Amino acid sequence: MENIKIKGLKKTVGDHNNNRMLARRIYLDRENGEVWCDVFPSLQSWNVYKDKAITEVLATQNAPFDHDFKISMEELREMCEEKIKEWPNDLSMEIEMVR
């Protein structure tokens, strides 16, 4: 598999770490390497992306006692790289299940 550059790390980490909303979900497009953060009132909310290349990387929810959960760019990069490595296997498993 070719190396994919992860794009949007700095903005995504900032959106995640600086947001005081209750829940954040970080998504990755495994085909082009774009990563972003969506913010919701709770983890019971999310966006549905029909593109199979888009996957959730991290879901966090602020608790009253832990409202400062933060991630670093390096931690997010590592999580994204793992999701990209899984991508061909995810797709082949899905195709196998459909057959």
What is the structure's pLDDT at 93? 43
| 18 DSSP 8-state letter | T
Which of 41, 42, 2, 9 minimizes the C-alpha distance to 26?
9
What is the structure's pLDDT at 19? 83
C-alpha to C-alpha distance for 60 and 49, rounded to whole angstroms: 19
Give tens-digit pLDDT for 57-96: 999 887 655 556 789 999 999 999 999 998 876 544 444 4
Segment 21-35 shows an average pLDDT of 91
Which CA distances in Å does 25 have to 12, 29, 44, 67?
A: 10, 13, 11, 15
Instruction: Give the CA diameter of the chain.
Output: 47
Domain residue ranges in the chain: 9-98
C-alpha to C-alpha distance for 16 and 91, rounded to whole angstroms: 28
Residues 6+ apart with CB under 8 A from 10: 73
